[in-house]
Amino acid sequence: MARTVWDSSVGKKTVMAVSGLIMLLYLVVHMIGNLKIFFGAGEFNHYAHWLRTVGEPFMHYEWTLWIIRVVLVVAVVAHATSAYQLSRRDIRARPSKYVHKKPRAGYATRTMRWGGIILGLFIVWHILDLTTGTVHSGGFQEGHPYQNVVDTFSTWYGNVIYIVAMLALGLHVRHGFWSAAQTLGVGSRTRDRALKAVANVLALLLTAGFIAVPVGVMTGVVS
């Protein structure tokens, strides 16, 4: 039954919607946590340490964090795989271009595919920068996330990569949230306006919230 559902377009769209909402929930929580950097090094470093001790003593050190990581990896892989397979299916269904062009779609709709690629590459860079320290500038300091963040956004390329990715994220969320609602049957003629408004607000808040951190470092508010 699971195989039958996955092989159908509706099944793949449902997987995309559910996995997307899981990632969206994480992004909201992650953004709120990031904003703690404006309360100083002590507050931000304490928050980072708390993430590793959530659930203790029932859960062992970092177990909860690793569960969250595994869920996110599964969600990202499921989202990307279903998106790619749906895209290939659309191409096979219509290998030649339409004689009459379709009405011009919105900017977010037309850039969903490239936005997803940009975000996928950014996730890899972000982990190598602030989790493993592999590409980190200024000398990665284990257990000092505040200083690591300041180091990253003290470089022009760190700011450019992050801000471009967050703009792509905003466009992705704006279209993706509304599409997920339609796929899961939440949308209707009477709810569409409200859903689009929620999608716009979420996209704006996430983009502004994430970009606030590099802007804070660049302006000296965070130092």
- pLDDT tens, the chain, 223 aa long: 777 877 788 888 999 999 999 999 999 999 999 999 999 999 999 999 999 999 999 999 999 999 999 999 999 999 999 988 888 887 777 655 555 455 545 555 567 778 888 999 999 999 999 999 999 987 889 889 999 999 999 999 999 999 999 999 999 999 899 888 888 888 777 788 888 899 999 999 999 999 999 999 999 999 8
The confidence score (pLDDT) of residue 110 equals 64
The confidence score (pLDDT) of residue 96 equals 56
Task: Evaluate the CA torsion angle 125, 130, 136, 138 in order and state its sign.
Answer: positive
Cα 82–chain centre separation: 16
C-alpha–C-alpha distance, residues 214 and 211, integer Å: 6
Per DSSP, the residues of 57-70 read TTSPTTHHHHHHHH
Question: How many beta carbons lie within 10 A of that of residue 152, not counting itself?
Answer: 24
The confidence score (pLDDT) of residue 193 equals 86
The confidence score (pLDDT) of residue 5 equals 75
C-alpha distance from residue 212 to each of 32, 53, 169 (Å): 11, 27, 14
The confidence score (pLDDT) of residue 185 equals 84
> Residues near 200 by Cβ (< 8 Å), separated by ≥ 6?
174
C-alpha distance from residue 151 to each of 87, 142, 160, 192, 207 (Å): 39, 13, 14, 43, 21
Phi, psi values for residue 222, rounded to 5°: -110, 120
